[in-house]
Structure 1
Amino acid sequence: MYLLGIDCGGTSTEALLTTLEGRVLGRGHGGPANYTVNGVSGVLRSVREAMRGCWAQSGLEEAEAVPQITLAIGVSGAGRPSEQAELTEAFHPEGFTRVVVAHDAHIALLGALSGTDGVAVIAGTGSIAYGIHGERSHRVGGWGYLLGDEGGAFWIALQALRRVMRAYDRRLPEDQVLLEAVKSYFNVVDPSELIPLIYKTPLDRGYIGGFSKTIGTLADQGHGASQEILADAGRQLGRLAVSALAELGLTKTEGRVAACGGVFSAGRWVLVPMEEEIRLAAPRQRLTLPDFNAAAGAVFLAARHLCLELSPVAEGLRESSSHGVARDV
């Protein structure tokens, strides 16, 4: 028997095929698979593409392997039980008899904490906190760029752009370093030229959010405003974690909060204020980097579905992958 974990994201899909002990047999990648954007057919198409890579690397024949597989999938945009049920049913005609579907934040948490309970804060273009404690789960944030996503890459970029526009209006002192960085990244000569770029339809949040990496670079170079923006992002992300911990009754217990996603590549500028925010409310919780990625988290979800002991799965994944053990921030 085998475990097949799949991370279906808005940009790409990753599949990981393992033994019941977590030894990796094959990996594969596919296209975007967001339930809301790509629909069930799009999810199926990208998953099939990713699975082909698993069959090729493992040497297994698909027809023989599928009946022996427990399939676990985390799908972005599929946070409601009805959506997960629809996707579960869609995979039965593919030959899978043991299928479990979850939101992508769920598998990110399981990967980050090696299948154990706790909270993960995921900060990519947007932001969300997700926690599990026993039979309970709880999400905080993830409400999109208009209603939430505080501390995410798009939010960080937006804070920087607002500073530039306020300086352009003489409502803030001019920040030549930030201004030149904005002009270079967005390829404009004057800040007023940002308007058609920012308000064009459809809004390219990924492109705008990519400017957050420049903010991280400027912070490393000693730029005070960039450091302030990232510190504020860290505090916002810390508050997401605290809300999830409080809802799950974990503020007084020992445990871990995992920091997952590209925003944390900014390092201490985000992580230190985030950790301070968490420790004020939950002093026994440690902020750590993730153990494994979300595809491995889906493998843990499959293992939990079979009621397997998770420690051997984690050890098998660790021995056959490039991921190391978690580190405190």
Structure 2
Amino acid sequence: MSLYLCADCGGSKTSVAICDTTGRILGRALGGPSNFAYLTLDDFISAVTEAVSNALKTCAAPPSDIPIPLPPAGASPFAAAWFGVSGVDSPAAVAAITPALSTLLGIPEGPRLAVANDTHLLAAPVRMYPDVSHAVTVIGGTGSNVVTFRETEGSLQELGRIGGWGWILGDEGGGFHVGREAIRQIMLEHDKASIGGAPPLETILTGQIMEYFGIKNSDVMEILPIIHLPDPSSNKNLSPDSPPHHHIPREKRLSSLSPLVFKAAFEHGDALALRILCTCASHLASQVAVLLSNGGDNAPRAVKAEESLISFGGSLVGIEGYRKLILDDLAERGHTFKYVEFVGDAAAVGAVSLAMVRRALDNVQE
């Protein structure tokens, strides 16, 4: 049986899907983090090996209870494979991991083994719309990234990109940005109240964040030393009895606040939380707009929204209300897309798309 494999390799998990030539999903599995920017090659391959092996065992009839070892070269069950890897942002990174993946899967380096950034997987739905050939992919999870593509003869050509620089330099509209903006807005309200003579209004979100950090009184200034605590690896005063947030790296102390913001905004209608999400959505929309054509601009690789698909992927943009904030902001800037998709399972969509494209190419060659 010819199998088609797609792996979505991200910062929190590795998701693998395997389908047959008809696009029927036969195997699924999840593995550990595989963002190549944060791992050695050995650790990356280890995460992929575990996920692919576990996915293969679910293809067996009946499913195997133990991982199925990957085949040697020449005996691969895979007709083709597509890897979308977070942290692979250059030809050098692709070249670094492709030989190891080729050896792992028994697929020769070449057209049947595609390795690219994970944003490429989000562009796969453009192949389902025969009247558009351009896609704008927007990742909005812990981080963010925007990439534009043109689909031609079964291949996705990257046109432009912005973002994906990590939480220190960017990730506008992502989880870290939401958490950081929440603290900024809370502190700003506190500071403005210092000249107003009255305390800042108490909000649902503020109370939730104070409770999350174990702050018993109403003094929001106690948030600051918690946010600026050293990372656990360098905190000499850390003990097993320290509060839970002391054991969390500083980056995640902020990104872990985003679920509280979304809950306060969309379940409780908290005005502060809604304002925070509007701010973050606008920042992400401004990133998208950089890659779009304004009609008269001199940007030959810019994409026209009205002739394109916008495809979202990631936990934050998976929330319909947040996507609407982004799309509404883009519309106000004059950019309304012909089609809108949310890809909740990039590995599965990628596997089905890969099978479709390879089947079409093989038919042409025959």
Which TM-score band (shorter chain)?
A: 0.7 to 0.9
**Following TM superposition, by how much is the alpha carbon of 1:136 offset from its aligned partner in structure 2, in angstroms?**
3.8
Of residues 73, 81, 89, the one that matches 2:91 is: 81
Q: Figure out how many residues of one structure are paired with residues of the other and give that number.
A: 309
Q: Residues of 2 paired with 1:255 and 1:235: CA distance? A: 20
2-side partners of 1:106 and 1:133: how far apart?
A: 11
> 2:327·2:336 contact (CA, 8 Å) conserved in 1?
no
- The DSSP-based 3-state class of the residue aligned with 2:58 is helix
Higher helix share: 1
Distance 2:225 2:349 in 1: 40
Cα displacement (A) at 1:87: 0.7
**Root-mean-square deviation over aligned CA pairs:** 2.9
In the alignment, the residues of structure 2 paired with residue 265 and residue 72 of structure 1 have an alpha-carbon distance, to the nearest angstrom, of 23
Rounded to whole Å, the distance in 2 between the matches of 1:109 and 1:188 is 44
Q: Which has the higher contact order (CA 8 A, sep 6+)?
A: 1
Q: State the secondary structure of the residue aligned to 1:222.
A: coil
Runs of 4+ in 1 over 6 A off after TM superposition: none
- Segments of structure 1 that go 5 or more residues without pairing to the other structure are 310-329
Residue in 2 that maps onto 1:272:
324
Per-residue CA deviation, residues 226-245 of structure 1 (Å, 9 max, x unaligned), is 11111122222222222223
User: TM-score normalised to the size of structure 2?
Assistant: 0.75
CA separation in 2, counterparts of 1:208 and 1:159? Answer: 9
Deviation of 1:250 after TM superposition, in Å, equals 2.4
Q: Name structure 2 gaps, 5 residues minimum.
A: 62-67, 152-156, 233-248, 294-298, 362-366
CA contact (8 A) 2:173 2:281 kept: yes
Q: What is the alpha-carbon distance in structure 1 between the residues aligned to residue 9 and residue 314 of structure 2?
A: 15
Tell me the CA shift for residue 265 of structure 1: 4.8
Partner of residue 210 from structure 2, selected from 173, 183, 197: 183
- Within-5 A mapping of 1:1-329: 1-59=2-60, 62-63=70-71, 66=76, 68-94=78-104, 95-97=106-108, 98-110=112-124, 117-134=134-151, 135-169=157-191, 170-171=193-194, 174-177=200-203, 178-189=205-216, 190-199=219-228, 200-201=230-231, 203-220=249-266, 221-246=268-293, 248-251=301-304, 253-268=306-321, 270-286=322-338, 288-291=340-343, 293-299=345-351, 302-303=354-355, 306=358, 308=360
Q: Distance in 2 between matches of 1:228 and 1:167?
A: 12
**Identical positions, percent:** 26
Larger Rg belongs to: 2
2:65 maps to which residue? none
CA distance 1:175–1:264, shift in 2 (3 Å): farther
SS in 2 for 1:147: coil
- Cα 1:291/1:216, change in 2 over 3 Å: closer
- How far is the alpha carbon of 1:303 from its aligned partner? 4.1
Note the C-alpha offset of 1:191: 3.0
Task: Tell whether the 8 Å contact from 2:6 to 2:350 is kept in structure 1 after alignment.
Answer: yes
